[in-house]
Amino acid sequence: MKKITLLLLFTLSSFLFFAQETETIEEEVIEVVEEESEPEDIPFAVIEDVPIFPGCEKLDKNLRKMCMQNQISKHIASNFNTSLANELGLSSGKKRVYVIFKIDKSGNIVDLKARGPHKRLEMEALRVVKLLPQMVPGKLRGKPVGVKYTLPIILLVEGDKKKE
């Protein structure tokens, strides 16, 4: 029997890689929003005020982003059916499922899409993300906006050590 470990990486990694560019991108986003009456959805990495996950309300702006990512990570880890990879007979190694969704102007999770190595893993990822609670919506210039979020879920599938 294979041992399955669920590893979660979030847009935090992309946020860290692009941290130097974030200010420039944020300034460009704000300029575009100022020109438009109805702004488009804003990526999580550059949103002025991130959506607020329940329980993260009393934290300052910077800690809210980390709190949200940590709470989503805990939610996925506790709800994702990791035994599914065994049932699918996946080979050993890292298996990635990417979920893209939006937290709309009302704080609801909408527009979910998933891509992964197997349709059932995609469906499981969507099921778990749909269970996320309603949040306080993200804001740009004090107005609620849709926020795009990319969630990479990484499954580490290890072969049976007794057979090796």
DSSP code string of 84-146: HHHHHTPPSEEEEEEEEEEE-TTS-EEEEEEE-SSHHHHHHHHHHHHTSPP-BPEEETTEEE-
Domain count, the chain: 1
pLDDT in tens, 134-155: 999 999 999 999 999 999 999 8
Asked whether residue 163 is assigned to any structural domain, the reply reads: no
- The mean pLDDT value of the chain amounts to 80
pLDDT in tens, 65-118: 999 999 999 999 999 998 887 788 888 889 999 999 999 999 999 999 999 999
Asked whether residue 162 is assigned to any structural domain, the reply reads: no
Asked whether residue 129 is assigned to any structural domain, the reply reads: yes
Q: Tokens representing 157?
A: 């599938």
User: Which whole-number Å values give the CA distances from 161 to 72, 94, 157, in the listed order?
Assistant: 31, 16, 12
Decide: residue 157, CB within 10 A, 0-12 exposed, 13-18 middle, 19+ buried. Answer: buried
Asked whether residue 152 is assigned to any structural domain, the reply reads: yes
Asked whether residue 116 is assigned to any structural domain, the reply reads: yes
Asked whether residue 70 is assigned to any structural domain, the reply reads: yes
Asked whether residue 109 is assigned to any structural domain, the reply reads: yes
Please tell me which residue, 64 or 9, carries the higher pLDDT value: 64
Please give the residue range of the domain that contains residue 62: 3-157
Asked whether residue 164 is assigned to any structural domain, the reply reads: no
pTM: 0.74
